[in-house]
Amino acid sequence: MRTNFKYALFYDFHTPVTIPGVCSKFDVEAFTDQLLRCKVDFLTWHVRCNQGGAYYSTRTGIQHPGLDYDFFGKLADACKRKNIRLSAYFNAGLSDEELLRHPEYMAISPEGLSLRENRNSPFVRSVCYNSPFREHLCNMALEVAKNYPVDGFFFDCLKVYPCICPVCMKKMQAQGIDYRNEKALRDFNSQSYAEFAKMLTTAIRQIKPEALMVFNCDDKELLCAEHSHFECECLPTSSWGYDYLPLYSRYNRSLAGDDRQVLNMTGRFYKWGDFGGLRPQAALEYDMFYGIAQGLRPDIGGHFHPRGDMDMAVFDRIHAVYSKLQQYDEFTEGAVNNNDIALVFDKNAVMPAKGLARMLDELKIQFDAVTEFCDWSKYKLLILADDLCLSGKGRKKLDDHLLSGKKVLALGSAALQDGKFPDCFPANFCETTSFEPAYFAPEGELAKGLQDMPLSVYANTTAMQCKSNAKSLMKVVKPYMNFGWDGLRSNFYNAPECASEFDFIAVNEQVIQCAGGLGMGYYSRAPYQHRILLGNMLEQLYGETKVKCPQLPSFARMAVQSVPGGELLHIMAYAAEARGLCVSMEDAVTVCDLVIEYKLPENTKLAQVVLAPDGKNLEFEVKGNKAVIKLDRVDGYALLKMDFSVK
């Protein structure tokens, strides 16, 4: 069931129950007319927020005390009349007022507490998924499904809140689970919210078989089958940062597959709970263009004023951003990302993967991001993130990949299991203490562009030695002594001494192993030498990459998509800058006189290159299997369409 969203808005309406006059100034016709002006075809809106108040005429929940009419009913009717699909938001993990009135719904922490230390947070108290709250929320959702013309539901904050309440303890004891085991307790909690979500889906779809369902949860893989579509939530100016979307846009796309869409949810503000924030147009453009280039549809979020004030400046900003994106709709609709390189990462240890995703973006490499839950069969090359631990299922998938003759780049101790690397890997693991700090000595065929000196890894290195049937290309360089207090001295200044007996890079025909945690090193210190080395290793394993443009700065991004009869090339040049405690993106950058090297698909002839949206034909020259395309300038964003004909 493909949703075919074009442009979405996600409105938060978390309103303390102490606020009077809720929606007293709300003009439903003016509001929905603004949605139409922005060409929004899908809206998510709260029916019951994390403060516990409902915004509809409920017999099951608690209607907000400051609301004196059926607000959600009016909104739902207006959306129905104007052909705007509507999803009803419930917070499934938080409900302040309901928990105050029903303490038996509350989760009790392993320390025996029902309140968290941070009292200035919506997460001060949370629900127990096994309490009667489960049936209560289900009844509220069914009340909405039966009485309002909604198209779907969004259930938020399904997170792990470890609970030892009597209900949970009885269930754990019956299953033989030791609540003192932190992992077992968290796994039990995850399964509890998964059962909760599946119950909601089953109940709602008995009334609305085609209901859209989204669960904003800690582990989307647990509930992958329950989703009608996915929403990738990323507010880069808040805790997510600008390294989140490059990894998770691709991961959500992998979970969604070919049949489901992903919405790219960001915010017009700087942090959740920020009613007065309005990010620059360039910042929102970048978020949305990046999402489109990765196959995600635009979804900008906002906080709506409790009274219903329109905040026209917000609508004007959204209209300006969406109008710019809509110029490219005829080119981008139906575009798909067909990549044959995948970054394999552990969703519970994402910092190395974020560092690697940034380097791959800066190298203009076209890639997907997957976990062992996803399908790996279409990929020619797998990049195993630093120290990736694989289950038995993951090792089997890796073995199948290698047995089929495909390639692997493994970093750190990736795929190490019980003290052994896979048989097809070029190096053996050595049990020894690692060096801190560790260096590597650039030499040989992978040292192109690197300086002739020991270079820092800025992360752990794995002790390994090349097998006799493989080739060592670089060595780990050890320091005079390891960092740290030895009882007398701090040992802070640790210069490189000499090459150790351990290999930094070992290679065979299928696999390159790099002992260094390059992803974590880049995430920690961003040394450009890591990016150069990564690019050299990928070139040796994969050959020429899809697209290159030496004139583009490292912060610029390029993405390739397939469309009927051709391909699209997205170019994005926007500069993020650290300002005090935050990272700000305010400016689109103009880049001139670009020469793009573009690798053509096999058995195709390049007929023309068109600059969207005006249709200008660009100059190009074909040399072998590559087209060399000239582009005068990019002002923040440019889209090129390559039209092919069969040779």
pLDDT range class, residue 306, cuts 50, 70, 90: very high
Q: What is the pLDDT of residue 434?
A: 83
Interval 480-522: pLDDT, tens: 999 999 999 999 999 999 999 999 999 999 999 999 999 999 9
Read off the pLDDT of each residue in 197-213 and give the average, rounded to a whole number: 97
Nearest to 299 by CA among 230, 221, 253: 230
Interval 72-112: pLDDT, tens: 999 999 999 999 999 999 999 999 999 999 999 999 999 99
Q: Which residues contact 563 (CB under 8 A, 6 or more apart)?
A: 331, 334, 335, 336, 641
Side-chain-side CA neighbours of residue 526 (13 Å): 7
pLDDT range class, residue 265, cuts 50, 70, 90: very high
Whether the per-residue pLDDT at 391 is higher than 80: the answer is yes
Read off the pLDDT of each residue in 330-353 and give the average, rounded to a whole number: 96
Q: What is the pLDDT of residue 433?
A: 73
Flag the least confident range among 60-64, 252-256, 308-312.
308-312
Q: What is the pLDDT of residue 3?
A: 82
Q: Which amino acid is at 384?
A: L
Q: Percent of the chain scored above 70 by pLDDT?
A: 100
Interval 425-479: pLDDT, tens: 999 999 887 899 999 999 999 999 999 999 999 999 999 999 999 999 999 999 9
Q: What is the pLDDT of residue 647?
A: 66
Whether the per-residue pLDDT at 168 is higher than 60: the answer is yes
E strands of 92-138, at which residues?
A: none
pLDDT range class, residue 2, cuts 50, 70, 90: low
Tokens of 40: 């929004």
151, 157, 161, 164: CA torsion to nearest 10: -40
Greatest CA separation found in the chain?
Answer: 79
List the domains of the chain with CATH numbers: 8-326 (3.20.20.80), 341-542 (3.40.50.880), 547-646 (2.60.40.1180)
